[in-house]
Structure 1
Amino acid sequence: MFRASAARAGASFRRKAATSAQARPFTSASTPKARTSAPKPTTSPFAARSASTPFPFPTHGVAASSIPSLNTLATRAQSTTAGAGGPALPALGGMIEAGDGDLEAILEAAGDIPVVVDFYANWCGPCKMLTPILTASIKTQAKTILVKINIDEAEQVAAKYEIASLPTVKAFVRGQEVDSFIGSRDRRGVEKFLEGVVGK
C-alpha cells in the first residue's frame, strides 16, 4: 500500500515539474537579450535628398568626350602664346593677305624688311595683269615680302592710304612709305621698282 502511494506521488511530482518547465522556458545569464530598439538606418541622408530633391549642381549627363584632355589644353595654350607676339610673316619673297587692322601690325613686325603692298580688287582688270608679274618678281628677288589687300574687304585701310585708283602698289621700310606706283607695269618696270625699294 505504501509503495503504491509513493509511486503515485512520484508520478504526480514529475508531471508538475514537466508542466512547469514547459510554462517557463530556460534562460541563462550568458544568453544575450534580444534588441528592443529599432535598427539605425544604413542609408545616408544625402541619398534620400538626391532621390527627392536634386542637388544645385549637375552630377551626371556630362559626356567624357566633351571634357578636353590636358594635351588639348596645352596645345591651345601654345597656339595662343604663339599668336600673341604679332602676325606670322612669310619668308623673304613670300606673300600674305591682309585686311583692316592687319597692315600696321605687319609693318611693325617686318622691321627693316621692305614690305610691298598691292592694293587690288577682284573686278579690276589691270590688277589681274599685275598680280602674277609682281608675285614672280618678288619671289625671284627674295629681298622683300608682298602683302595683298582687297580694298572691297578692307575699306578702312584703303581710306587711310587714300587709294583712289587700282592697282596701287606702295612700299614700306620700318613702317614708313618709301615709294609707290599706280597702274600696271611690265616685268622690267616692276624689277626696277623693287631694286629701288631695297636700296632705301
Structure 2
Amino acid sequence: MSVLKITEANFVEEVLNAKEPVLIDFWAAWCGPCRMMSSVVDEIAEELHGVKVGKINVDEEQELAGKFRVMSIPTLLIFKNGKVEKSFVGARDKKEIVDALKIQVTE
C-alpha cells in the first residue's frame, strides 16, 4: 500500500475512522532525521499488510501537529479506533515500529 498524504481535510476519514491501525509520520522537508525515517516509513507501507500509513507535513498542517502536541520531528503516532495507541519521537529502528504495529493488528 502506498503512503497517504494526510491533511486536515482527510484526517477524520483516513485516520480517525479507519478500520485498520494507522501509522502517521509527522515530518518536514528541512528535517534531516525526517528524511532518514521517510524511507523506513515507505518500506513499512509496502511490506506490512493490514496497516494504513500516512505522512503529515508539519509546515503545511500546523493545526494537526498542534492538536497532537508534536514538539519534535520526526514523530510517529500509531492510531487504532481513532485513538493514539503508541508514539515514537526521533529516528527509530524499523523493527521497533513494525513490532508495535503488529501488536495493534493482532489485538
What TM-score, normalized to structure 1? Answer: 0.50
**What SS is found at the alignment partner of 2:44?**
helix
Whether the 8 Å contact between 2:16 and 2:79 is mirrored in structure 1 is no
Q: Deviation of residue 138 (structure 1)?
A: 2.9
Deviations 1:119-166 (A, max 9, x none): 000001001111111221232111201110000000111111110000
Overall identity of the aligned pairs, in %: 29
Alignment length (residue pairs): 107
Alignment counterpart, residue 34 of structure 2, candidates 123, 127, 133: 127
**Structure possessing the higher relative contact order (Cα contacts under 8 Å, 6 or more residues apart):** 2
Counterpart pick for 2:96 among 189, 193, 197:
189
Higher helix share: 1
Q: Is the 8 A contact 1:171 1:178 kept in 2?
A: yes
Consecutive unaligned residues of structure 1, counting only runs of 5 or more, are 1-92
Rg larger in structure: 1
CA contact (8 A) 2:31 2:73 kept: yes
Structure 1 stretches of at least 4 aligned residues deviating more than 4 Å after TM superposition:
none
- What is aligned with 1:104? 12
Q: Does 1:147 align with 2:58?
A: no
TM value normalised by structure 2 = 0.89
CA displacement, residues 89-134 of structure 1 (integer Å, 9 cap, x when unaligned) = xxxx331102223212222442x21111110000010011111112
Looking at structure 2, the residues matched to 173 and 94 of structure 1 have their Cα atoms a distance apart, in angstroms, of 19
1:11-160 counterparts in 2 under 5 A?
93-110=1-18, 112-160=19-67
Give 5+ residue unaligned stretches, structure 2.
none
